[in-house]
Amino acid sequence: MRANAKTPASKDTKAVVAERPRPTARKARFDTSPYLFILPFFLFCLLLMLYPVVYSLTLSFREATVDTFVSGDMPFNGLTQYQAAVVDPVFWRAVVNTVLFAFFSILFQFTIGFVLALLFQLNFPLKNFCLAVLLIPWVLPVLTAANIFKGLFNDVGPINQIMHLVGLGPFPWLADPSYAFPATIVANIWIGFPFNFILLYAGMRSIPVEVYEAAKIDGANSWKRMVHITLPMLKPVSAAVLMLGTIYTVKVFDLVWIMTGGGPANGTHLLSTYAYQVGFSLLNFGEAAAIATLMVLLVLLLNLVQMVLQRK
Amino acid sequence: MEDRLYLPEVSHLMRTTFATLPRWWITAAALTVTAVLLSPFYWVLVGSFMTPAELFGGQMSLWPKHFAVENWSVAFSRLWPHIQNSLFVSAVASIGTLLITAPAAYGLVWRKPRGRQTLFAFTLMTQMLPAIVFVIPLFIVFTKINLVNTLYGLILADMTFTIPFALIMLSAYMKDLPYELVEAALVDGAGQLRAFLMIVLPMTLPGLITVGVFSFLIPWGDLIFALSLITDDSLQPLTLQLYKAFGQYGIDWGFLLPGSVLTAVPAVIFVIAASRFIVAGVTRGAIK
**CATH for B185:** 1.10.3720.10
When pLDDT is averaged across residues A74-98 and rounded to a whole number, the result is: 92
**Do both B99 and B241 map to the same domain?**
yes
Closest CB from A37, A143, A193 relative to B111: A37
Q: Is residue B34 part of a domain?
A: yes
CA distance B176 to A141: 31
For domain A89-311, give the CATH number. Answer: 1.10.3720.10
Q: Is residue B112 part of a domain?
A: yes
Q: Which residue has the higher pLDDT, A296 or A33?
A: A296
Asked if residue A14 has pLDDT above 50, the reply is no
Q: Where do the domains of chain A lie? A: 89-311
Closest CB from A135, A236, A275 relative to B132: A275
When pLDDT is averaged across residues A58-68 and rounded to a whole number, the result is: 85
Interface test with A, best of B23, B132, B159, B282 (most A CBs within 10 A): B132
Asked if residue A161 has pLDDT above 80, the reply is yes
The nearest alpha carbon in chain A to B48 belongs to: A148
The mean of the pLDDT values for chain A is 87
Q: Is residue B61 part of a domain?
A: no
- State the smallest CA–CA distance between residue A98 and chain B in angstroms: 13
When pLDDT is averaged across residues A252-265 and rounded to a whole number, the result is: 93
Contact B140 A69 (CB under 8 A): yes
**DSSP-assigned letters across all residues of chain A:** ----S--TT-HHHHHHHHHSPPS--SPPPP--HHHHHHHHHHHHIIIIIIHHHHHHHHHTTB--BHHHHHHS---B-TTHHHHHHHT-HHHHHHHHHHHHHHHHHHHHHHHHHHHHHHHTTS--TTHHHHHHHHTHHHHS-HHHHHHHHHHHTSTTSHHHHHHHHTT-----TTTSHHHHHHHHHHHHHHHHHHHHHHHHHHHHHTS-HHHHHHHHHTT--HHHHIIIIIHHHTHHHHHHHHHHHHHHHHH--HHHHHHTTT-STTTT--HHHHHHIIIIIS-BHHHHHHHHHHHHHHHHHHHHHHHHHHH-
When pLDDT is averaged across residues B200-213 and rounded to a whole number, the result is: 91
Q: What is the pLDDT of residues A107-135, one digit of tens each?
A: 999 999 999 999 998 888 888 889 889 99
Percentage of chain A modeled with pLDDT above 90: 58
Quick one: pLDDT at residue B251?
83
**Do both B138 and B15 map to the same domain?**
no
Q: Which of A67-71, A186-190, B136-140, B239-243 has the highest mean pLDDT?
A: A186-190
Quick one: pLDDT at residue B74?
93
Q: Is residue B177 part of a domain?
A: yes
**Do both B202 and B280 map to the same domain?**
yes
**Do both B41 and B115 map to the same domain?**
no
Report yes or no: B267 and B217 within 8 Å, Cβ to Cβ: yes
Q: What is the pLDDT of residues B226-278, one digit of tens each?
A: 999 999 999 999 999 999 887 656 788 899 999 999 999 999 998 888 777 76
Residue A212 sits at φ, ψ, to 5 deg, of -65, -40
**Do both B91 and B204 map to the same domain?**
yes
Q: Is residue B117 part of a domain?
A: yes
CA distance readout (Å), A200 to A76, A121, A235, B126: 48, 10, 10, 25
Nearest to B285, CA basis, from A202, A38, A190, A42: A202
B83 CB neighbour count, 10 Å cutoff: 18
When pLDDT is averaged across residues B62-73 and rounded to a whole number, the result is: 89
Asked if residue B4 has pLDDT above 50, the reply is no
Contact A127 B264 (CB under 8 A): no
When pLDDT is averaged across residues A249-277 and rounded to a whole number, the result is: 94
Report yes or no: B64 and B46 within 8 Å, Cβ to Cβ: yes
CA distance A253 to B141: 22
Range with lowest mean pLDDT among A36-40, A152-156, B22-26, B228-232: B22-26
Report yes or no: A93 and A269 within 8 Å, Cβ to Cβ: yes
Q: Which residue has the higher pLDDT, B12 or B118?
A: B118
**Do both B84 and B166 map to the same domain?**
yes
Sign of the dihedral defined by the CA atoms of residues B156, B92, B271, B33, in that order: positive
Quick one: pLDDT at residue B104?
96
CA distance A198 to B274: 14
Range with lowest mean pLDDT among A95-104, B48-57, B75-84, B100-109: B48-57
Contact B163 A49 (CB under 8 A): yes
**Do both B21 and B149 map to the same domain?**
no
Residue A23 burial by Cβ neighbours in a 10 Å radius (0-12, 13-18, 19+)? exposed
Quick one: pLDDT at residue B7?
37
CA distance A172 to B27: 37
**Do both B12 and B93 map to the same domain?**
no
CB–CB contacts below 8 A, A to B: 334
When pLDDT is averaged across residues B139-143 and rounded to a whole number, the result is: 93
Nearest to B131, CA basis, from B5, B245, B221: B221
**Do both B265 and B134 map to the same domain?**
yes
Residues forming beta bridges with residue A65, ordered by sequence position: A284
Q: Is residue B56 part of a domain?
A: no
Work out the end-to-end distance of chain B between its first and last CA atoms, rounded to an integer number of angstroms: 15
Q: Is residue B275 part of a domain?
A: yes
Q: Three-class SS of residue B145?
A: coil
Contact A130 B30 (CB under 8 A): yes
Closest CB from A145, A161, A202 relative to B283: A202
Asked if residue A179 has pLDDT above 70, the reply is yes
CA distance readout (Å), B246 to A144, A150, B272: 14, 11, 30
Chain A residues with CB under 8 Å of B57 CB are: 156
**Do both B204 and B91 map to the same domain?**
yes
Check residue B18 and report its DSSP letter: T
Asked if residue A97 has pLDDT above 50, the reply is yes
Closest CB from B12, B43, B163 relative to A158: B43
Check residue B64 and report its DSSP letter: -
CA distance B51 to B23: 41
Interface test with A, best of B18, B26, B133 (most A CBs within 10 A): B133
**How many domains does one find in chain B?**
2
**Do both B82 and B224 map to the same domain?**
yes
Nearest to B237, CA basis, from B76, B83, B80, B72: B83
Q: Is residue B57 part of a domain?
A: no
pLDDT band for position A218 (50/70/90)?
confident
For residue B13, give its domain range. Answer: 2-47
CA distance A259 to A149: 8
Q: Which amino acid is at B279?
A: V
**Do both B26 and B138 map to the same domain?**
no
CA distance readout (Å), A37 to A201, A260, B124, B173, B215: 36, 45, 19, 17, 20
Chain A residues with CB under 8 Å of B282 CB are: 195, 198-199
